Amino acid sequence: MKLFLTVGKVLTALFWGVVLANLLQPFAQPFTLLLNAAGVFILLVHALELWLFDKRIAASAQPAQTRIQILLFGVFQLLGMPAEGTVTAPEQPLEALQLEAENA
């Protein structure tokens, strides 16, 4: 799953790079109009995701950074977040876990 999310984020970043390049130096018609329309549509979809998942985003450790990443990567960022209400235990170093196992 992590590979899928990483590939999705890379492809999304490439898409935003092409949209930005199109804004700086427009491509031949009709690609300029199509890329601008696709960029606006994707941005609106990501804004809708921000609105729909506001409580889940607010519960994250860094909500401002999470909002920016959702605006850029959308569902690929949301799928990588823990589910609402899920409490994750802090990661312990391997040595601490081995000491606990030896003492038990």
The predicted structure's pLDDT at residue 77: 87
For residue 90, what pLDDT band results from cuts at 50, 70 and 90? low
8 Å CB contact between 70 and 46:
yes
pLDDT tens per residue, range 48-85: 999 998 888 888 888 898 899 998 998 888 888 877 65
Taking the C-alpha atoms of residue 51 and residue 31, their distance in angstroms, rounded to an integer, is 30
Taking the C-alpha atoms of residue 27 and residue 94, their distance in angstroms, rounded to an integer, is 53
Question: Shortest CA distance to 51 belongs to which of 67, 69, 38, 73?
Answer: 67
List of residues 6+ apart from 26 with CB closer than 8 A: 32
Taking the C-alpha atoms of residue 37 and residue 60, their distance in angstroms, rounded to an integer, is 31
Per-residue pLDDT, averaged over 5-26, amounts to 92
Q: Across the chain, what does the average pLDDT equal?
A: 84
